[in-house]
Amino acid sequence: MASPERPRKVAFDAQPTVRYIESTGRHPRKSPTMAKQVFERFNGTELTDHMLEEAAQLFNENYGTWGEDPMNPMAAPKPGSRVKLSKSRLRDQYLPNNAPCTYVRVTVEDRLAGNAFACRWSHKDTIVCWVTQLVVHTDFRERGLAAGLLNQLRQDDDGIYGLMSSHLAACLAAAKAFGSGIHTVAVGFICDNAGAIMKASPIGYVKEAELRGSVFNPEDASGLVSSVYTKFFVDHAEPLEALAWVREASEWPLGDLLDDHEFLVIIPNRRRNRSRSRSSSRPRVVGLVSWDVPRESS
């Protein structure tokens, strides 16, 4: 029997904390007004079966669809069908017993609007925080929730942040939450550290991913820069459309996106000393309630 969820402390912030990120499409989606947002953070050991069921449902309904495997076009799953993840696989794949894990979720008017999983391990006496999953419901995208979830994952002792994703919105949100924007992502740092960091990972698909791109192999002429070969044939139609739009508007340092590949983002925590000095004088906030404010017109 699943144990009941424990009540979480919630802190009210007098100042609006809603942040927005650039849209990754030419035609922004009309989303419901977000009158109230609640961010909650849990240790991996605190997750109940019910919470995992909700997380799996959010993933299954909003992550993406399968593409076609050119090496085996008749293989299951069927192209166009939803990528799905069971509760048990979610626990096994994203919550290893031998490493500390964190789960963050955001609800909007008591509706689960997004969540993120992260796992931590050590690399050369440095704590690596790796985002293993980031999902925002399609009704609540382009509202800054992805960056807000990642900000809630941050800890003062984190030294490096990592993410593998074919979704540009996830990469943009990580660069914003953990760094100073996508244009500042240092591919040289990724080149120097990715191999050793990922081989030390307790997450199987991270440890086994193959590094691809010109940053790792100067002779690579595929158009890849910082990517991993994951053999994960998710459909890339939407990410490729977003990539074309982003490249028109700004610099994109991670290169092209090929089938069965994902972008690789690794960012050093340059805010660590500053966040320590700020956090030393205030209590840890495990929940956050904020009210939406109108977007300023440009």
What pLDDT is recorded for position 29?
A: 52
What pLDDT is recorded for position 76?
A: 64
What pLDDT is recorded for position 18?
A: 35
What pLDDT is recorded for position 65?
A: 83
What pLDDT is recorded for position 75?
A: 64
Distances 6 to 3, 41, 101 between C-alpha atoms, Å: 9, 12, 18
pLDDT tens track of the chain, all 298 residues? 544 554 454 433 333 333 333 334 444 455 566 678 999 999 999 999 999 999 999 999 999 888 877 666 666 678 888 889 999 999 999 999 999 999 999 999 999 999 999 999 999 999 999 999 999 999 999 999 999 999 999 999 999 999 999 999 999 999 999 999 999 999 999 999 999 999 999 999 999 999 999 999 999 999 999 999 998 888 899 999 999 999 998 899 999 999 999 999 999 997 654 444 344 333 333 444 444 333 333 3
Distances 267 to 72, 193, 214, 243, 262 between C-alpha atoms, Å: 35, 10, 18, 20, 16
Helices (H), ranges, the chain = 49-62, 87-94, 145-153, 168-178, 187-199, 204-208, 237-249, 272-279
What pLDDT is recorded for position 13?
A: 37
> Is-contact 153 116, C-beta < 8 A?
yes
Q: Phi and psi of 93, rounded to 5°?
A: -85, -30
What pLDDT is recorded for position 20?
A: 32
What pLDDT is recorded for position 12?
A: 36
What pLDDT is recorded for position 266?
A: 98
What pLDDT is recorded for position 198?
A: 98
What pLDDT is recorded for position 129?
A: 98
- Residue partners of 116: CB distance under 8 A and separation at least 6: 103, 104, 105, 131, 133, 134, 135, 149, 150, 152, 153
